[in-house]
């Protein structure tokens, strides 16, 4: 009974811990880490990197001698050659042979050396490709996370709009009872209240879709709940513009800016450029390896062998130990292979390898130009969204004041419900634009970091 109680207690504690873990809010970094750890393309890149490592190990092994050993046994029935007399015999015999050989290529036109260099470049390319896939996964999560944050902010604004219109509707009905508002005013406010309900439902649906996209980007179970930690609290109808500072989930400290464009693209650290550069290096060494087939090759070989022979049903044969010693033979050889003509296969391979190297060069130059353009655009967009954020903060503050004044005039009968709706919609649009500028500034800042070769997610 006590054991059952202990087991039940352990199960309850495990369920409580699991529930508490599931209910904890996920930060941006946690979402990125989860996505990088569970992304299928990242796992494929890890396996490809392991293949590159195996290829490098094989290239290193080509410098070592190869050693082979062989054992053979043979029963002869009927007419066969007697190894003792080298003549024919009709008796049954047993033959047993042992062989040990080793070979070492001495010179092959530096083919093995270039193969090793190509394998090393391929391994570095695999590492850069893995880093690129991880960074791209983190960027995808960043985009999806930002969309969720944006629609969450719009949902909060829509909820505040619904609450505001409900209070306004109650107030207008009271004013109608005392004769200060007409039935038309009440109908207009009711229309605004229905519009606010519709907008809230629409934003909630968009938020739910954004959550699904984030789960997909993270490879997170779609059926499990995902609670996020983000977004500043930008009030909808405050007299002030509210806390318009950047969200706390932004990665890293803000980049310093002095109004001048710095060097945005790091050719040495950016993973995409590293992939293209190492692929170019590997292609170059593969080209040199193909040219090595034009040179003669030199190799050394050595070995030893021995045999044991016995005529069946004959007890006069030498012992196994004596035959192994007496029949022992050694050899040492040097071989030179001079390529003369192989139906133009070598020239064809060299030509293809050279073209592949030139293709890799063009791809590297193209990638460098493309990333330089994208990094400059990211920098300009980041600067632009920062300026737009400052401008929209001022506009939100002005629209908030205009809305408060219009509402006061509406209560005093100096403004219509249409005027109130216009200023309310203008304030809502300004708040949404401000939120968008804030989030886009965050995204562009992380893109600037990415093009500078910085890691935007923590391992």
The residues spanned by each domain of the chain are 27-64+109-295+345-451, 68-107+299-338
Q: Which percentage of the chain shows pLDDT scores above 70?
A: 86
User: Span 79-99, mean pLDDT?
Assistant: 78
Contact 338, 108 (CB under 8 A): no
pLDDT band at 25 (very low <50, low <70, confident <90, very high): confident
CB 298 within 8 A of CB 107: yes
Question: CA of 80: how far to CAs of 87, 239, 259, in Å?
Answer: 8, 112, 96
pLDDT band at 251 (very low <50, low <70, confident <90, very high): very low
In whole angstroms, give the CA distance from residue 411 to residue 403.
12
Instruction: Work out the average pLDDT over 293-297.
Output: 93
pLDDT at 195: 93
CA distance 30 to 41: 19
Burial of 263 (0-12, 13-18, 19+ CB in 10 A): exposed
**Which range (64-73, 297-306, 331-340, 408-417) has the least confidence?**
408-417
pLDDT at 457: 84
Higher pLDDT pick, 118 / 260:
118
Query: Residue 152: which of 305, 41, 278, 26 has the closest Cα?
Result: 26
> What per-residue confidence (pLDDT) applies to 268?
78
Predicted local confidence at residue 125, as pLDDT: 97
DSSP 318: P
**C-alpha to C-alpha distance for 199 and 188, rounded to whole angstroms:** 16
Q: Where are the beta strands (DSSP E) in 338-389?
A: none
**What is each CA distance from 273 to 53, 190, 364, 434, in whole angstroms?**
21, 59, 7, 35
What are the backbone angles phi and psi of residue 77, rounded to the nearest 5°? -120, 130
Is the distance from CB of 277 to CB of 364 less than 8 angstroms? yes
**Region 268-292: what's the mean pLDDT?**
94
Q: Residue 222, CB half-sphere, CA atoms under 13 Å: how many?
A: 7
Please report, to the nearest 10 degrees, the dihedral formed by the alpha carbons of residues 187, 190, 195, 196 taken in order: 150
Q: Which residues pair with 98 in a beta bridge?
A: 71, 306
Say whether pLDDT at 440 is over 80. yes
What torsion, rounded to 10 degrees, do the Cα atoms 163, 168, 171, 176 define?
Answer: -140
The residue among 132 and 15 whose pLDDT is bigger is 132
19 or 395, higher pLDDT: 395
Burial class (CB within 10 angstroms; exposed 0-12, middle 13-18, buried 19+) of 408: exposed
* Closest to 114 (Cα-Cα) out of 48, 64, 59: 59
Q: What pLDDT does 22 receive?
A: 45
Phi, psi for residue 99 in degrees, rounded to 5: -145, 140
Q: What is the band of 39 on the pLDDT scale with cuts at 50, 70, 90? A: very high
Instruction: Provide the 3-class DSSP secondary structure of residue 288.
Output: helix
Whether the CB-CB separation of 151 and 137 falls below 8 Å is answered with no
Instruction: For residues 144 and 220, give the distance between their C-alpha atoms in angstroms, rounded to a whole number.
Output: 13
Q: CA separation (Å) from 147 to 27, 29, 210?
A: 14, 16, 6
Give the predicted TM-score (pTM) of the model: 0.80
Q: What does pLDDT average to over the chain?
A: 85
Residue 329 CA to its chain's centroid (Å): 59
Which pLDDT belongs to residue 171? Answer: 87
pLDDT band for position 19 (cuts 50, 70, 90): very low
Contacts of residue 373, defined as CB under 8 A and 6 or more positions apart, other chains included, come to none
The per-residue pLDDT for range 386-437, each reduced to its tens digit, is 999 999 999 999 999 999 999 898 888 888 888 888 999 999 999 999 999 9
Residue with the bigger pLDDT between 244 and 227: it is: 227
Mean predicted confidence (pLDDT) in 323-331: 90
Strands 93-107 and 66-76: what pairing? antiparallel
Q: Does the pLDDT of residue 70 top 50, yes or no?
A: yes
pLDDT digits (tens, 9 = 90+) for 180-239: 888 888 898 899 999 999 999 999 999 999 999 999 999 999 989 888 886 444 333 343
Could you confirm whether domain 27-64+109-295+345-451 is CATH 3.30.450.40?
no
Residue 84 confidence (pLDDT): 66
Least confident of 81-95, 183-197, 297-311: 81-95
pLDDT at 140: 95
CB 265 within 8 Å of CB 452: yes
- What is residue 309's predicted lDDT score, i.e. its pLDDT? 82
Q: Are strands 87-89 and 329-337 parallel, antiparallel or unpaired?
A: unpaired
Cβ of 249: how many Cβ atoms within 10 Å? Answer: 20
Buried-state track 127-151, b at ≥16 Cβ within 10 A, e below 16: bbbbbbbbbbbbbbbbebbbbbbbb
């Amino acid at each position: 009974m006590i054991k059952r109680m202990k087991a039940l207690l352990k199960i309850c504690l495990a369920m409580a811990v699991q529930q508490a873990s599931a209910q904890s809010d996920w930060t941006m970094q946690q979402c990125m880490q989860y996505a990088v750890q569970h992304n299928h393309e990242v796992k494929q890149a890890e396996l490809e990197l392991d293949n590159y490592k195996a290829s490098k190990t094989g290239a290193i092994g080509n410098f070592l001698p190869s050693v082979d050993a062989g054992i053979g046994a043979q029963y002869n029935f009927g007419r066969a050659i007697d190894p003792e007399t080298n003549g024919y015999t009709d008796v049954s015999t047993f033959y047993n042979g042992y062989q040990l050989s080793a070979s070492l290529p001495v010179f092959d036109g530096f083919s093995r050396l270039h193969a090793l260099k190509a394998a090393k470049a391929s391994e570095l390319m695999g590492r850069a490709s893995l880093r690129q896939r991880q960074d791209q996964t983190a960027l995808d999560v960043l985009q999806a996370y930002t969309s969720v944050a944006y629609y969450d902010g719009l949902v909060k604004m829509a909820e505040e709009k619904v609450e505001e219109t409900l209070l306004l509707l109650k107030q207008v009905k009271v004013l109608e009872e005392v004769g200060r508002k007409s039935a038309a005013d009440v109908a207009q406010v009711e229309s605004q209240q229905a519009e606010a309900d519709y907008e809230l439902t629409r934003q909630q649906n968009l938020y739910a879709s954004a959550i699904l996209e984030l789960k997909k980007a993270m490879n997170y179970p779609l059926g499990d709940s995902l609670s996020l930690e983000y977004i500043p609290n930008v009030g909808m109808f405050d007299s002030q513009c509210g806390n318009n500072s950047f969200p706390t989930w932004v990665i890293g400290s803000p980049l310093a800016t002095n109004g001048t464009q710095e060097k945005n693209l790091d050719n040495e650290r950016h993973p995409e450029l590293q992939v293209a550069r190492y692929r170019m290096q590997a292609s170059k060494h593969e080209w040199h390896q193909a040219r090595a087939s034009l040179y003669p090759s030199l190799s050394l070989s050595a070995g030893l062998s021995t045999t044991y022979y016995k005529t069946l049903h004959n007890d006069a044969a030498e012992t196994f130990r004596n035959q192994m010693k007496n029949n022992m033979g050694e050899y040492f050889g040097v071989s030179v292979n001079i390529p003369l003509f192989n139906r133009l296969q070598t020239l064809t391979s060299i030509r293809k390898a050279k073209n592949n190297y030139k293709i890799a060069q063009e791809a590297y130059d193209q990638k460098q130009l493309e990333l330089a353009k994208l990094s400059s655009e990211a920098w300009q967009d980041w600067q632009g969204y920062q300026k737009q954020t400052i401008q929209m903060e001022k506009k939100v503050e002005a629209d908030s004041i205009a809305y408060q004044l219009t509402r006061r005039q509406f209560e005093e009968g100096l403004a219509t419900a249409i005027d109130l709706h216009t200023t309310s919609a203008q304030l809502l649009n300004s708040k949404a634009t401000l939120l968008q500028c804030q989030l886009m500034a965050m995204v562009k800042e992380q893109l600037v970091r990415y093009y500078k070769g910085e890691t935007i997610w923590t391992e």
